[in-house]
Amino acid sequence: MKKYRLQAIVMVLVAFMLGCNEFIVVGILSDLAKQFNVPLATVGYLVTIFATVYAISTPVITIYTSRFNRYKTLLALMLVFLIGNTFTGFATNYVMLIISRIITAVVAGSIISLIMTFASTIAPREKRAGLVSWIFAGFSIASVFGVPLGTAISTSYGWRYTFFIISVISIITFFLLVWLLPKKVDQVQGSIGKQLTLLKDRRIYLGIALVLFTAATMYSYYTYIRPLLTTALGFSTASLNWLLFLIGIMSIISNRLSGMLADNNGLKKMPYFYVADIVLLVLLPISLNTKVTGMIVLLALTLIVTILNSPIQIHFLNVAESDYPQSLVLASSLNSIFFNFGISLGSATASAMVGLVGLSKIGLGAAAYAAISLVLSIMLYAAIKQHRRVAVKKSSDL
């Protein structure tokens, strides 16, 4: 039990490390623009490039490496991540910076996919949902604590030190993984074609669509969270960090609640949360009239808008384990892959909505995606029930 707790801690540490690397750029964009003498908008493309490369490369790397030992594959990817992250710290021009971010993005998704797979293997079944929720919480913790701390370090000592510190964390994490993870786990190998058969399952492709539109729901308003707090609600710039910290704490609570739902047939309850999303997002323009109501609505949205994370992750793993064992690592990556595609869709929608209807009504686009998610969540659970009925009928016929 003691070893399992240490394994769980190091898995959360991996998520924290990846989260810091991905999110830290947002906090130091101005420093990077000044360092390399490029427009702030150009530096902002680092975020888009990272998310796009992450989403495209993850399934390719995951499928290709599935034939190799998972323990050795994870350590190899960790070394590539360490090289890419350290390269970022030593970048002397904007092109080198882009290349270094591409290197880390290429392996980041596969690393978290393998961590999720190890979590599924190591954790007792009754604790698996809790561990998955804590791994997701590692990204939230990075956003809440790691990014502000990294920004402060960048301001005081220079932006390069933020990446060097992440490299130190990576080295520590690497040796902890060497010590704690099992060297060999049972794994079923399959050709690329056999692995991709997973995607033909109605329970999988509906889940993928649900993840995508859930992420689009969140980022259709969250992309402009800072102007929502300062311009729309009128909070001072000085109080911004504390407000974002509060939103981050709510996100961590959401991850833990998500884990509890995954333990209690969470996908069945999802439609209720999407109805709440729709109501809150429709009310968002009205709530922005006062600081108190606006902040309450934003905090409530943060609590429920991504509560799907753990239930859908456990769903993908369960389907793969029972019917597509050769696709287990691919299944573990689907959530992160399509969440990143959803981020791109949502952020593009947010920008379009600001231009069309203004900042205060930005939630209406998100409400439309929440409505699509509501329909998908109902269809997904119907597909799950239908599959169970067919399975029961087959077993009774035998």
Domain shared by 166 and 192, yes or no: no
CB-CB contact of 206 with 379 (8 Å): yes
Q: At 77, which amino acid appears?
A: L
Q: CA-based Rg of the chain, rounded to a whole angstrom? A: 21
Domain shared by 182 and 192, yes or no: no
Tokens representing 74? 């994870």
What CATH number is attached to the domain comprising 390?
Answer: 1.20.1250.20
Domain shared by 317 and 354, yes or no: yes
CB-CB contact of 329 with 66 (8 Å): yes
- pLDDT for residue 234: 92
DSSP class of 201: S
C-alpha span between 251 and 306 (Å, rounded): 9
Dmax (CA) of the chain: 71
Inter-CA distances, 49 with 41, 157, 340, 344, Å? 13, 26, 11, 10
- Which of the pair, 182 or 210, is modelled with greater confidence? 210
C-alpha span between 191 and 64 (Å, rounded): 9
Domain shared by 356 and 228, yes or no: yes
Tens digit of pLDDT for each residue in 114-132? 999 999 888 888 888 899 9
Q: Residue 93: is its pLDDT beyond 90? A: yes
Domain shared by 307 and 384, yes or no: yes
- pLDDT for residue 20: 92
Q: Residue 74: is its pLDDT beyond 90? A: yes
Q: Residue 207: is its pLDDT beyond 80? A: yes
| pTM as predicted | 0.87
Q: How many CB atoms lie within 10 A of CB 215?
A: 27
Domain shared by 194 and 180, yes or no: no
Domain shared by 180 and 69, yes or no: yes
Tens digit of pLDDT for each residue in 2-24? 788 899 999 999 999 999 998 88
Mean residue pLDDT of the chain comes to: 90
Q: Residue 184: is its pLDDT beyond 90? A: no
Domain shared by 195 and 173, yes or no: no
- pLDDT for residue 1: 61
End residue of a domain, out of 157, 187, 217 = 187
Domain shared by 55 and 196, yes or no: no
Q: Residue 47: is its pLDDT beyond 80? A: no
User: CA angle, 120 as apex, 133 and 216 as ends, to 5°?
Assistant: 45
Q: Residue 237: is its pLDDT beyond 80? A: no
Domain shared by 256 and 330, yes or no: yes
Tokens representing 323? 């019917």
Determine which of 25-29, 205-209, 211-215 has the lowest per-residue pLDDT on average: 25-29
Domain shared by 125 and 252, yes or no: no
Inter-CA distances, 314 with 228, 262, 274, 310, 343, Å? 34, 7, 19, 6, 21
Determine which of 73-82, 98-107, 226-235, 312-321 has the lowest per-residue pLDDT on average: 226-235
Tens digit of pLDDT for each residue in 323-368? 998 888 899 989 988 998 888 888 888 888 888 998 899 999 999 9
Q: Residue 48: is its pLDDT beyond 80? A: no
Nearest one of 184, 61, 57, 70 to 117, comparing CA atoms: 70
The number of domains in the chain is 2
End residue of a domain, out of 172, 187, 202 = 187
Domain shared by 63 and 111, yes or no: yes
Tokens representing 172? 């520590």
Q: At 123, which amino acid appears?
A: A
List, as one string, the DSSP characters of 110-165.
HHHHHHHHHHHHHS-GGGHHHHHHHHHHHHHHIIIIIHHHHHHHHHHH-THHHHHH
End residue of a domain, out of 187, 220, 245 = 187
Q: At 262, which amino acid appears?
A: A
Domain with 263 in it? 188-398
CB-CB contact of 357 with 247 (8 Å): no
- Which of the pair, 26 or 85, is modelled with greater confidence? 85
